[in-house]
């Protein structure tokens, strides 16, 4: 059976089912479909399934013409019927792994997806988990659920872990060109998964186990989390000293070795960096190991929206205006520039904190015309127009996300006050007495 599956994968005859058609699963489906594999996009959301089968997209950086091309190829179909999974040869799990309110891993989506697969599991299935999680998840959570069927991993079916490395909106690297780390539960699982990805992406990096692959992804995100926390703390320190941290970083990065530039902001966003380090701290406690360094970095990053609010209050005070009752416009709802992804965006918390302080808050984001309900938030807001006349109506404008679409010269020229959390106004010409950095 193993040889037959390997041959099927090698010839791109294996049907690939991807569970979760979000910011990770949909780009991956496009890659496998484009590589020539028959591809199934599975999602429990019937609206997503309807749009995909109609050749329409709901993610900005994957435009509708690309979905239409996938459908016209005859190799892609979307479904929310679990029975369609049984016809697949490889099943790839791309579902969220959020945190609970107590910052413990919430494995609900992985568990439910594993149970869905178990209901359709057959001999010779390859199951790959891509959702970022703590080391040990594949062995300790996924495999036991699948083995409740009576089938044995590594013998009757095969299991691997290959962490997603998506960075929405990035131009220099895509899903197909980012090296793919792959670790199997056993040598046969590893060979199957490695072969599968090697037929679809540019480079595959095999590792000795699924645990190593899980840990590698956590290390990548902890690295960014800690370094961003460092510059966020330096921003606060240098602010007290009257030193511009942005100019400091520009000077430091001229060193050709031993330094990599990270930049401060109003907090961390996206599904990985604000969340994944806490998966490791949770797992480390099971081994009696405190992770003080990582937890401190997390505390610093999660405190940044509060720091921004403090600077908004200070900026308003210079105009003898209280935050209670002030009209404030937040620019940018997405967690990073030029995308429509608002997962874990610090702008969400920033808006909520400003409202709690009594401010009347609007937002503008050319990529996010309306908000949608999230697991922890439901702003129920619409993006307001950004015009010189509209800007003049607000007591303060907060730049939270530095989209390229914004005309920062126009913003500074027409706003009464600007609190800039991204150094977006650095190139604005003329006096900037109304601009406060935060």
Residues belonging to the active site: 272
CA distance 320 to 331: 23
Give the strand pairing for 76-79 and 90-93.
unpaired
For the CA atoms of the chain, what is the radius of gyration? 24
Structural element, H or E, at residue 183: strand 180-184
Cα-based torsion angle of the residue sequence 87, 93, 94, 97 in order, rounded to the nearest 10 degrees: 150
Q: How many Cβ atoms sit within 10 Å of the Cβ of residue 99?
A: 18
CA atoms within 13 A on the CB side of 328: 33
Determine the Cα–Cα distance for residues 106 and 79; give it in Å rounded to an integer. 25
Q: How far apart are CA 161 and CA 422, in angstroms?
A: 36
Name the E strands within 261-404: 327-331, 360-364, 396-399
The Cβ of residue 261 has, within 10 Å, a number of other Cβ atoms equal to 12
CB atoms within 10 A of CB 176: 17
Q: With contact defined as beta carbons under 8 Å apart, do 105 and 134 qualify?
A: yes
The residues, any chain, with a CB within 8 Å of residue 402's CB and separated by 6 or more, are: 332, 337, 422, 423, 424
End-to-end CA distance of the chain: 60
Query: What b-and-e string marks burial along 329-339, b requiring 16 or more CB atoms within 10 Å of the CB?
Result: bbbbbbbbbbb
């Amino acid at each position: 059976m193993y040889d037959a599956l390997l041959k099927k994968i090698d010839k791109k005859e294996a049907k690939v089912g991807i569970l979760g058609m979000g910011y990770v699963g949909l780009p991956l489906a496009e890659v496998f479909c484009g590589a020539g594999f028959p591809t199934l996009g599975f999602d429990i959301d019937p609206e997503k399934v309807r749009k995909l089968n109609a050749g329409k997209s709901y993610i900005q950086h994957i435009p509708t013409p690309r979905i239409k091309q996938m459908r016209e190829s005859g190799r892609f179909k979307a479904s929310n019927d679990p029975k369609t999974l049984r016809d697949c040869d490889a099943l790839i799990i791309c579902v969220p792994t959020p945190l609970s309110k107590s910052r413990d891993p919430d494995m609900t989506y992985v568990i439910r997806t594993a149970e869905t697969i178990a209901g359709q599991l057959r001999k010779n299935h390859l199951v790959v988990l891509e959702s970022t999680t703590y080391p040990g998840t594949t062995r300790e959570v996924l495999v036991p659920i699948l083995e409740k069927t009576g089938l044995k991993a590594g013998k009757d079916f095969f299991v691997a872990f290959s962490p997603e490395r998506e960075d929405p909106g990035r131009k220099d690297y895509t899903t197909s060109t980012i090296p793919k780390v792959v670790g199997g539960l056993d040598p046969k699982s590893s060979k199957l998964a490695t072969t599968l990805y090697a037929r679809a992406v540019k480079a595959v990096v095999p590792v000795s186990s699924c645990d190593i692959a899980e840990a590698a992804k956590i290390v990548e995100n902890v690295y960014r989390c800690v370094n961003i926390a460092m510059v966020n703390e330096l921003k606060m320190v240098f602010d007290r000293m009257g030193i511009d941290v942005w100019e400091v970083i520009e000077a430091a990065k001229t060193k050709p070795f031993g330094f990599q530039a990270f930049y401060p902001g109003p907090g961390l966003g996206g599904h990985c960096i604000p969340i994944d380090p806490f998966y490791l701290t949770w797992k480390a406690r099971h081994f009696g190991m405190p992770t003080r360094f990582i937890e401190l970095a997390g505390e610093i990053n999660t405190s940044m929206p509060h720091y921004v609010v403090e600077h908004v209050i200070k900026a308003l005070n210079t105009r003898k205006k209280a935050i209670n009752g002030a009209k404030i416009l937040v620019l940018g709802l997405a967690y990073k520039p030029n995308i429509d992804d608002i997962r874990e965006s610090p702008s969400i918390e920033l808006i909520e904190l400003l409202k709690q302080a009594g401010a009347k808050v609007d937002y503008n984001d050319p990529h996010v015309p309306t908000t949608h309900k999230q697991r922890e938030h439901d702003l129920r807001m619409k993006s307001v127009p950004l015009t010189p006349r509209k800007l003049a109506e607000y007591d303060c404008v907060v730049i939270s996300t530095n989209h390229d679409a914004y005309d920062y010269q126009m913003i500074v020229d027409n706003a009464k006050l600007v609190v800039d959390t991204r150094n977006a106004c650095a190139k604005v010409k003329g006096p900037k007495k109304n601009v406060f950095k935060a």
